[in-house]
Amino acid sequence: MTGRGAHSGIYWDMPRKTAYEAKIEYLQILDEHGNLDKTLAKDTLTDEEVLSLFESMVIYRHLDEVAFKLQRSGRMGTYPQNKGQEAAALGTAFAAKKGVDFLVPCYRENAALFLHGLPPHYILLHWMGDERGNQIPQGVNCTPLSIPIGTQMLHAAGIAWAYKIRKEPRCVLTYFGDGATSEGDFHEAMNFASTQQAPCVFICQNNQWAISVPREIQMNSETVAQKAIAYGMPGIQVDGNDLFAVYKASREALDRARAGGGPSFIEGVTYRLADHTTADDAKRYRDPKEVEAWIGKDPVIRHRKYLESKGLWNAEKQAATDERAKKIVSEIVKAAEGIEKPLVTDIFNYTFAGELPAELKRQRDTMQTHSLGQDPSQVGLQQGAAMH
């Protein structure tokens, strides 16, 4: 390419150059047939840890199925199943430090929340419309489920920024789906976390569908992970149904953030095996062949094959774990359905962390908002004024 000086009339070469280059790596360590890449798996998960996480998968898959039945039988308002996405939740959460790091979820990360100490019946209470399901117990580092798409990522960036300001070696993991990356909140959170170098790990559970909109229609990028490039943060795409890959990518991102390296982006490629929620019918827009293909990649099936190949699992252990899962889930349901009725005054008592303002105290004590209802003695004063 040539150019010319404004006044000299002299021509010179102006070579075109590359301003920036990038690539997105894909990581898979355990394939859908249960075959493990031992080199990549080195220093990740031990067989005992995989066994423990797999048992959690089995138990929480059973809870997922029972929650679906609760909704269908009219005992719960609605419910978004987590089926098929358990590995992405467990692998990331296991890499984080329980009681130290903070989880900011969407609504398909039940297993991650349970792993970090949230009592499982809180999730059922949430979907039953009981606000006590959002009253996170002291010492459990997570926010309540986030239903608006994408808003939680802003909260995560803010929490992570606070950790940095306080010089605390803590990190934040925030979860969202592929659809959330089309929201403005996502881009604001990514940009803020990047410019502030906040210790935040953005975890996209790319389950291929934003309700009824497929990923390839929703966005024109080949991967979701490449969206991190625009914000100058590391991004990687991993097999979201592979505990090893999800754990490895998450641990590296958390270690980097804890050391002051700023935020990272992880795209876990997975699939929503069930409907978007119990109010949806995915058969209306999804090809049954696509669903069938992804069933073969189910994280529960995959990790069971791996454990069987290692002699750590068999039909007897599966039957015993299934029976144990039924008992555990039965207790979870009893805890949710057996909770005492909430008090009407709770809506006032939990509004302020400190002293309740006098006006709200009057409203709480009288259950009235107008002055006459709060002080009926005024009736006599009004009658007296009318007589005169």
Kindly report which listed range (27-31, 268-272, 361-365, 378-382) carries the lowest average pLDDT score.
378-382
- The predicted structure's pLDDT at residue 374: 72
pLDDT band at 39 (very low <50, low <70, confident <90, very high): very high
Is 298 in the same domain as 367? Answer: no
Is 89 in the same domain as 192? Answer: yes
In a domain, 273, yes or no: yes
Query: What burial class does residue 130 get, using C-beta atoms within 10 Å of its C-beta: 0-12 exposed, 13-18 middle, 19+ buried?
Result: middle
pLDDT band at 13 (very low <50, low <70, confident <90, very high): confident
Mean pLDDT of the chain: 93
Is 206 in the same domain as 354? Answer: no
Quote the DSSP letter at residue 77: S
- The predicted structure's pLDDT at residue 387: 52
Quote the DSSP letter at residue 273: -
Predicted confidence (pLDDT) per residue in 316-326, tens digit:
999 999 999 99
φ and ψ of 139, to 5 deg: 95, -10
Q: Give me the active site residues, please.
A: 272, 276, 285
- The predicted structure's pLDDT at residue 149: 94
pLDDT band at 380 (very low <50, low <70, confident <90, very high): low
Percent of the chain with pLDDT over 90: 85
Q: Is the pLDDT of residue 205 over 80?
A: yes
In a domain, 207, yes or no: yes
Overall average pLDDT of the 286-298 stretch: 97
Going from the C-alpha of 179 to that of each of 150, 208, 351, the distances in angstroms are: 9, 9, 32
Is 153 in the same domain as 229? Answer: yes
Q: Is the pLDDT of residue 277 over 80?
A: yes
What is the span of the domain harbouring residue 356? 349-373
Predicted confidence (pLDDT) per residue in 169-199, tens digit:
999 999 999 999 999 999 999 999 999 999 9
Overall average pLDDT of the 105-120 stretch: 98
In a domain, 168, yes or no: yes
Q: Would you say the pTM of this structure is higher than 0.85? A: yes
Q: Provide the number of structural domains found in the chain.
A: 2
Residue 382: CB atoms within 10 A of its CB come to 9
- The predicted structure's pLDDT at residue 383: 55
Is 295 in the same domain as 356? Answer: no
Of 124, 193, 40, nearest to 338 (Cα)? 124
Is 210 in the same domain as 359? Answer: no
In a domain, 378, yes or no: no
